[in-house]
Structures are given as structure tokens and as C-alpha cells.
Structure 1
Amino acid sequence: MKRAIGVLAVCLLVPLSLAQTKIGDCEVSGKKGEFPIKPVTPGVLTIQTNLPAPGWFNGDTPDTIKSGFEYCLAANVAYLAGLDKVKIVNVSFDALVAGQTKNYDLAFSQVTITDARKKVVDFSPPYFSSDQGLLVRTGTKVNASNIKSLKIGVQQGTTAVDFLKNVLKVPESNIRVFPDTPNLFTALQARQIDVAMLDTAIVLVQAKQSGGKLEVVGQYKTGEEYGAIYPKGSPNKAQFDKIFKTLAAEGVFKKLSATYLSKELGGDPTAVPYLKP
């Protein structure tokens, strides 16, 4: 999946004391420094993402973020890596998944693990599963018989682009590609498109925040999984992988989902009806 154009924006440094068990608004656990790494900046875990990402990074700019699923996941990674600061940098999603961003340790941006992306970046073990959801103006009818005749918007660089072209066989003339999610959702509300296709977990958040103007009417089963991105050939891959496996075994992913996503999503993603391609 996802997001915006403008590489490298503002950064956030969050100090971590040696005895601290809370970073921002996030609870952290485990043994600090159990899996030490060699970060790009000594004592700092540098994280890249693409904002905004409500529920995942709660805040529109790095200096306002203190919670969210991926923010708190990053905080737990930093803690287990024994680092004293977390630095968040806002980057272009398209550049991130193309392996074009530099000077970071890992990135969280609801990125689906794909073989094509593995050619230019490395991935962590998966930490979240998602399918492709259909966001529409409330009352719009979408079904298997009319989907190809509707104007569908997607975000540049996301897996939805390939799904529309190669699986649903939607005509190129009916596909609109937007540089980021704010432009995509604005186009939907302005009636420039009929449907916005993006990860179900992301469009559910947008529907909930729309005040009833938008709704998620269906989704397609794609079996996608999110992973953190490491720079290709990162010397820290083995240690990061150990951290992710440890967090999974301790139930941290499920806890973060229950804490930060359930409320933001406004419902269970699996309850959204599935359409057949």
C-alpha cells in the first residue's frame, strides 16, 4: 500500500531513559538492548513513513505523533534494540517502496510485502494482514457486474494498481492514479471518481472519519501482509528479524491492533463483504 509525494520532511526525536517502559503514549516491554543493532545514527532508531496515517501514526506531522499501531511498534523495536531515541521522517511512499530513500534503519508505512518490492528493499517478517477495500460515497452501489464500468481511484505505487489491471481487468480509461491518499479521498468526495480502492484497514479509517459521507461497501481477498522495510542489504536484518519474531510471540501485534486500530476502523475488517473478482 500507500502514500504521498514530497520526500523527507520534518523529524521527531523521542528520548528514551534507560529505565523507561513508555515511549510517547506507547507501552514498551521486554529486555532493553536484547537485540543490539548498528543504526545509521548512533543511539537513534531512524524510521521512515508516509503521513498522514491515522491509527498507524496518530498525528499529521512527526512532532505531533505519540501513538498509533506502527509508531508503537517502532517504539518497541527501538527498546529491544537498546536505542535511546526514535527519529521519524516523512517520505514519499512511492520513493520508499522503490528503494529510493536513504539514511534510515527501517520503515513502517502499511507496506504490502511483494516479490517485486523485494528486489529493491528487504522486509521484516509480517506484522499485519489486509485485503483491498472499496470506499465510496454513501449510497453508491458497487458489485461484481458493474465494477469495471466505474471510475476507480488508487494511490500511486500501491498493490491496488496491479490488482485492478491484472486481476479485475478494469479498462485503463477507468483507472485514476493519485500521488497520495489525501488527493485520492478528496477526488472521491468531489465526484471525480466513483470508488477509491486501497487496503481495507485504511479505507475503514477514512469512512469512520467522514461523518457518514463515505462507506466501505466491499473488499477483495488478496491475502496481503504488511512488513517493515529495511534498506536493501541492511546489516541489521538478522537482529531486526529476531525482534519482530519476539514481538509476535509475545502478542504485541495483536495488542497494538486492539489498542489503536479497532477504534479507528470503526469495525472488524473481516465483516466487510467479499466480492469475487
Structure 2
Amino acid sequence: MKPATIAKAVAALGLISAVSAYAQSYGNCVITGQKGSIPIKPFIPGQLTVQTVLPAPGWYNGDTTATIKDGFEYCMAANIAYRAGLDKLVIQNVSRDALMTGRTKDFDLALAVVSITPERKKVVNFSVPYFKSNIGVLVKSGSKVTEENIRSKRIGVRQATAGYTYATTFLKPTEPLKVFADTTEVFTALAAGQVDVAMSDTSYLLGQAAKSNGMMKVVAQYSSPQEYGAVFPAGSANEAAINKAIEEMKADGTLASLEQKQLGEKWGTSPAAIPFWKP
């Protein structure tokens, strides 16, 4: 073979390698496990299509699907894609209400900080749990909310959430709950002084506190049995394989590592460091 021909062949191989490296790109995520160990039948061949609800700091670091390079759930999805032998990961931003009423389509799974509840299980199919979250107490920095006086404060919650259920069932405040249609509305009300406390998942509140530039702080949490699960599309043939991947990532320390790096380091503290109050 002539030198020029060899050079072209080497260049072509380099291009192929570059294309392959680009194609199998999972942002800034650390990938573990064995590629192709859990073969699935993706909705679109060659890619894992994952739905979520943005913004979700810590879980997906970026406000648009094009800017996300890491985050707990993003990197969890990347590891599932790798173990499924898929070189491409595509994130779709959807409405939470549409997702939780089974109205979203054309995806493989959703990772969207969704608590598994008996009511939701009647509507959508969940994976095995992958994260445990308690109920946090978010206040404006300098607030005088304490374990002793929280019941007399104006508490904001999102309707039909674990925070709402916990407040009404266990905390039972003396002031009427302020119920909002969306969690972002709860945060806006807290910033505006319309409520004294925002109650939701500790992990979710830590993300909000981290991006508030010191204006808000998670001062406590209440113990809760709630756990997060992936949501599968109706009739998915991949539930067993993806559940296997999640169990393996729990067993081999992948999810624990993601919690520390993607949540603890990004937020400046881990959920485990937040003190517990009693209702």
C-alpha cells in the first residue's frame, strides 16, 4: 500500500474513532458496569429515551435538554444506557402532570424525582426504588422557624405530593396550608413572604436552596418512607431489565457515588447532613 493510501486509511480510522467516541458520549458522567449486560428493546434503536421535568438542579444540571451534562438522574440514565449497550442518551422535558397521568408517549423510562405512592401506582408503572427521600423544611435565611413553632407558621406545599400528605397527616399545622399547583409557585411564595415554610422532598429543596444564592436554607427534615422510582410507559417490555440494572447499581455502589458527587457536592451538603425534627 502506498504511503499516501496508508495515511488516508489511518486518518479514516481516526475519524471513525472520533465519531464513535462522540456517539458514545454521556456528558461528564462516570460510567460503571459492563456494556450490553442488560439488553433492552428501546423505543428508538440505538438510543435510550428518558423523560424528565426541568428544571431539576442536582438531578439534571442544566435548564434545557441541550445543556445537561451531569446530575444524579442524568448520570443514572447514562449508566443504564451503557449497560443496555446503547451509545446515545436523549432527554425529553415533559409536563409532570402529563407524565403522572400516563399521557406521555414514545420513551423508554422517566427519571423525574417521582415518589412511589399507592395512588400513583394505580396510574403508572414504577421501577424498583432507587432513592430514599425525606420531607424537608425550606425557609428564608434568617427565619425564626423552629421545631417548636412550625405548626403556627404559614406552610406552602404543592398539591397531591408527599409534602402535602405529610403536612396534613402528621404535622397538622394550626394555620391553614397554602396549597399550590406547582412547586415553583411554592418557592415564589416563600421568596415573596407569602408563606414562611416550603415543604417538599429534602433532596428537591436542597437543589432550590443551592441556586437561591443564600436566600433560602433547608433547616430540617422529617423522616418519611417515600422512595423515588422510574416511570415506565404502559406495556413496556424493558421493566425487568431496567430493574436489574437499578438493583446492580445499588449493589455495586454506583448510586451511592452519584448521590455524593452529583447531589452532595453540587448542593454543598448531602441530605444525610440535614437534622431531623419530630412532628
Query: Per the shorter chain, which TM-score range?
Result: 0.7 to 0.9
Aligned residue pairs total 262
Structure 1 residues 55-107: Cα deviation after superposition (integer angstroms, max 9, x where no partner):
11010000000111110100110111122321111112233223232221111
What corresponds to 1:26 in structure 2? 29
Q: Percent identity?
A: 50
Tell me the SS of whatever aligns to 1:99: coil
Query: Which structure: greater helix fraction?
Result: 2
How far 1:143 sits from its partner (Å)? 3.3
Identify the residue that residue 59 of structure 1 maps to in structure 2.
62
- Shift of the alpha carbon at 1:144? 4.3
Aligned to 2:202: 200
Q: Please say if residues 260 and 270 of structure 2, whose CA atoms lie closer than 8 Å, have aligned partners that are also in contact.
A: no
Report how far residue 253 of structure 1 moved: 0.2
Picking from 110, 128, 144, the partner of 1:141 is 144
CA radius of gyration, larger in:
2
Please state which structure has a larger fraction of its residues in strand: 1
Secondary structure, in 3 states, of the residue corresponding to 2:261? helix
The amino acid across from 2:226 in the alignment is E
Letter aligned with residue 134 of structure 2: D
1:165 is aligned, of 127, 151, 168, to 168
Could you tell me which runs of 5 or more consecutive residues in structure 2 were left unpaired when the two chains were aligned: 1-17
Residues 111 and 227, structure 1, Cα contact 8 Å, conserved in 2: yes
Describe how 1:47-86 pairs up with structure 2 within 5 A. 47-86=50-89
What is the CA RMSD across the aligned residues, in angstroms? 2.3
| Alignment-mate amino acid for residue 221 of structure 2 | Q
| Matched ranges for 1:52-131 at <5 A | 52-131=55-134
Q: Taking CA–CA contacts closer than 8 Å with sequence separation of 6 or more, which of the two structures ends up with the larger relative contact order?
A: 1
Indicate how the Cα distance of structure 1 residues 106 and 26 shifts in structure 2: closer, same or farther if over 3 A, else same: same
- For 2:250 and 2:220, the matched residues in 1 are separated by 29
Question: In the TM superposition, what is the alpha-carbon distance from 1:193 to its structure 2 partner?
Answer: 1.2
* Alpha-carbon distance change, 162 to 95 in structure 1, aligned in 2, over 3 angstroms: farther
Q: In 2, are the aligned partners of 1:218 and 1:273 still within 8 Å (CA)?
A: yes
Distance 1:274 1:151, change over 3 A: same
Superposed CA deviations along residues 234-264 of structure 1, whole A, max 9, x for unmatched, are: 2111111111112222211011112211112
Relative to 1, partners in 2 of residues 1:45 and 1:200: Cα closer, same or farther, differing over 3 Å? same
Distance 1:157 1:28 in 2: 35
Does structure 2 retain, via aligned residues, the 8 Å contact 1:205–1:266? no
* TM-score, reference length from structure 2: 0.86
Tell me how far 1:216 sits from its aligned partner.
1.4
Instruction: Please give the per-residue CA displacement for 1:166-198, whole angstroms capped at 9, x wherever unaligned.
Output: 2222368332214243x3222211111111111
